[in-house]
């Protein structure tokens, strides 16, 4: 028997096999998110970060244009990573590896065992105290949030 069938959160049938609910809807949701991230990758090619280091950009643009361009181009660059992470998460969900049991109510199916990132939580903090780098990293990477030696 495969070792994944012995995980404590995986419900089992009478023969000891894992019972995983259908995975197609959560996997399609992850795939759709990945496709949206791919659109962000395409847009990042229209706003290259390397142009900000040129003399033309520094001498011929206003401060507010440079600030806005910096925000836009750096935000779009993150979509390369978001694309890969969401597609990998969707593949894990489609294989049944992302199943994390049911919620506290017993009805809600949780697919967060394979999730590694929160895409928009780090860029939209609730208040100014959350701008500290260490809590920001905890809001971004869920799988490595307890191993803060990475920072």
> Tens digit of pLDDT per residue, the chain (151 long)?
444 444 455 556 566 666 777 778 888 888 898 899 899 899 999 999 999 999 999 999 999 999 999 999 988 888 888 898 888 888 888 887 777 777 778 777 777 766 666 666 666 656 655 555 555 555 555 554 444 444 4
Q: Where are the domains of the chain?
A: 21-97
Closest alpha carbon to 119 in 52, 18, 29, 25: 29
3-state secondary structure of 18: strand
Q: Which two tokens stand for residue 132?
A: 């500290």
Distance (Å, whole) CA 69 – CA 67: 6
C-alpha triplet 116, 121, 122: angle, nearest 5°: 90
3-state secondary structure of 12: strand
Helical residues (DSSP H) of 14-78, grouped into ranges = 24-44, 55-60, 63-77
* pTM recorded for the entire structure: 0.66
- Count of alpha carbons within 13 angstroms of residue 41, beta-carbon side: 12
Closest alpha carbon to 117 in 140, 91, 151: 140
3-state secondary structure of 117: strand
Instruction: Report which DSSP code applies to 83.
Output: H
């Amino acid at each position: 028997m495969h070792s994944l069938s012995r995980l404590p959160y995986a419900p089992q049938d009478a023969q000891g096999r894992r019972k995983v609910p259908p995975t197609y809807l959560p996997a399609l949701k992850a795939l759709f998110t990945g496709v949206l991230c791919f659109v962000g990758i395409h847009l990042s090619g229209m706003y290259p970060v390397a142009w900000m280091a040129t003399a033309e950009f520094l001498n011929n643009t206003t401060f507010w244009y440079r600030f806005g361009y910096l925000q836009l181009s750096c935000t779009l660059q993150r979509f390369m990573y978001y694309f890969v992470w969401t597609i990998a998460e969707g593949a894990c969900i489609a294989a049944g590896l992302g199943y994390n049991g049911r919620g506290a109510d017993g009805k809600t199916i949780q697919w967060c065992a394979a999730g590694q990132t929160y895409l928009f939580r780090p860029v939209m903090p609730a208040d100014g105290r959350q701008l500290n780098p260490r809590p920001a990293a905890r809001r971004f990477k869920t799988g490595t949030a307890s191993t803060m030696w990475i920072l």
